[in-house]
Each structure stands twice: as structure tokens, then as C-alpha cells.
Amino acid sequence: MTIISEDISKAVKLLNNEDVVAIPTETVYGLAGNIYSEKAIHKIFEVKQRPLFNPLIAHVSSIEKAKAITRDFPVKAEMLAEAFWPGSLTILLNKNNAVPDLITAGKNTVAVRIPNHPVTLDLLEQLSFPLAAPSANPFGSISPTKARHVESYFGNVIPMILEGGDCKNGIESTIIGFEQNEAVLYRLGSISLEEISDVIGEVKIKNKQEIAPDAPGMLSRHYSPKTKMFLVDDVEKFVKQHANKKIAVIRFCRDKHIPGIEHIEILSEKEDLKEAASKLYAVLHKLDGLNLDMILAEVFPDVGLGKTINDRLERATKNK
């Protein structure tokens, strides 16, 4: 059985022995292993049932350590690192030869970030290698924002979950890279497009790629509950069309009463998109355990982190 523990030294020992450990970050819990250990990285892919064509993110504790695994660090990358690291931004950079192709899906770029969580920063400082750490969930399912989410997924297949409390931001990092010196957004995340643009100017969006994706989170179906899920503009109309179904609704803020629903989750009474984003996955986990016929999510305002929330909800409802 998996141990849930705050003992960083135990996590260090396991990682040094080429095993994997679930770790907390401010975004979601990750399934971590030494980027230079083929054994550990293969275990991450196997445990998650993640396709090998989908690259992983390398987590480090400093900009110097990020530069140590990359060939170059463009001026705009420096600006972004200064503004957002430690934090929920991943930067895609040209890798050096020491970085294994296994974590980059054979590409010449490596995704790097410095997580903003005291437990994991402490852990990284005690290791002599970066950690690859995709979300600690089976491929395509809802990302975990609590240790118990990880336990419910992998409670009998990984040795340890490093307890770090609930994830503060609750949604994955934003991923930015560069093509012909232009900034490209590959994944919407906890830092909004507007915040990025305020630092480096115009950013091209390229966040959907089914074949050999450049970065994690680009596949059309992802972050998905087992329960059928729909993203709708008009909740009342949809509910009327599906009478006698056990339906739960996810809404941004409280509005008028909606008859005919089993359960409602309001993500932010004060209409705060950051709060709504932080609660999204925890709410999806909760609703997925209620034996519902379907989950409805109302479209969020398409600004700031509302874009990220809508992106996750769209991917969660694909092919349902």
C-alpha cells in the first residue's frame, strides 16, 4: 500500500533509488521520478498509462538548474522566469544532450519549471537531479489536487505520496515556448494569457495537437471524469431536454435557481476566476463519485483564467 507522509527524507531515498513518488505542487500533484533514470521514467509512463509520444516536464529548484539542462535561454524566457518563477509557468526550451529523449518524446526541446510549493522546493534542493513530474493520475482522467485523489488512483502501485496539503492553484501550469523567436502558448494554465502578454507582448496560441504534441496537455480529450459531461451555454434548456436524469451542474457564480437538478456546485460566490480555477478539479472528483447520469458545466467568462477553465471543460467533455 502507498504511504502518505510528510517525510521528505523518505521521498529523497525513494527517488535516489530510481523509484517514483507523488509530490505536491501549487498546481496539481505530480508523479515524480529522476529525469536521468530510465527505470523511473518508464515507471511513470506505465503507472499513468501515458503514451510515450507525450513529453514530460522537468522540475528544478532554480533558474541556474534550468539553464543547466538547456542549450539557450532567450531574453523573453529570462523575462518570464523573472516574473513567474517559482510558479505555475512551464517554459519550453532547447535541451542539452544530457537530457534523455525519453522525457522529451524525442524532441529537441525540454519543458522546465520551478514549482512554487515549499515542500517540493525543499525536496528538489536535496536531490542532485531534476524531477519529471506529470500529473499523478491515469492518462486522460481528472488531475489530483489532494493527496487522497492520488491515493484513490494509485494506492496500490506507488510507494509514497508526499503530503503537501491541497494544491493552491488547482490547475496545471501554463506552457510557453518559442518558434522563430515568437512566443507560443502550448497550454493554457494557472497563469493567464493576459498576464503573459503583459510581460513579453504578443503570444501566438497553438494549444491543440493530436500527433506528436510539442508539450503536455495538447490532446483534445483530457482531464476527464468517468461520468458523462457536457459544456453548455444554457443549463436550463439542457436540463429540460433531459428530464428524469440525475444531473449535477457546475457554475461560476450563483444566479437564479435551476429546477430539476440533483446537485449544484458554485465555484466562486464572489465571481473570482482564480478561486474558481483552484476548485475545479476537486469539484469534478466530488461529482464523479455521486453516481450521476451526467455533469453539466456552464461556459465561463472567456477572459483571464476563464479561458483556462473553459479549455479544461472542453477537453473533459470530448468524445463523451
pLDDT of residue 146: 98
**What's the start-to-end Cα distance of the chain, in Å?**
33
Residue 301 and residue 280: Cα distance in Å, rounded? 15
pLDDT of residue 177: 96
Q: Does residue 167 contact residue 28 with C-beta atoms inside 8 Å? A: yes
Helices (H), the chain: 8-16, 38-48, 63-67, 75-84, 101-104, 118-125, 147-154, 193-200, 235-241, 273-288, 305-316
pLDDT of residue 244: 86
Helices (H), 157-289: 193-200, 235-241, 273-288
pLDDT of residue 320: 43
Superfamily for the 3-205 domain: DHBP synthase (3.90.870.10)
Q: Which of these, 249, 244, 282, 286, lies nearest to 266 by C-alpha position?
A: 249
Cβ neighbours, 10 Å, residue 299: 16
As a whole number of angstroms, the longest Cα–Cα distance in the chain is 60
CATH number of 229-316: 3.40.50.11030
Which residues contact residue 86 at a Cβ distance below 8 angstroms, ignoring those fewer than 6 apart?
A: 114, 115, 116, 121
Domain with CATH 3.40.50.11030 in the chain: 229-316
- pLDDT digit of tens for each residue in the chain (320 aa)? 789 999 999 999 999 999 999 999 999 999 999 999 999 999 999 999 999 999 999 999 999 999 999 999 999 999 999 999 999 999 999 999 999 999 999 999 999 999 999 999 999 999 999 999 999 999 999 999 999 999 999 998 999 999 999 999 999 999 999 998 899 999 999 999 999 999 999 999 998 777 677 778 777 677 889 999 999 998 889 988 988 899 999 999 877 677 888 899 999 999 999 999 999 999 999 999 999 999 999 999 999 999 999 999 999 986 54
3-state secondary structure of 27: coil
Residue 30 and residue 196: Cα distance in Å, rounded? 24
Q: What is the pTM of this model?
A: 0.94
Residue 79 and residue 173: Cα distance in Å, rounded? 17
Domain with CATH 3.90.870.10 in the chain: 3-205
pLDDT of residue 193: 95
pLDDT of residue 164: 98
What's the gap between Cα 193 and its chain centre?
16
pLDDT of residue 211: 67
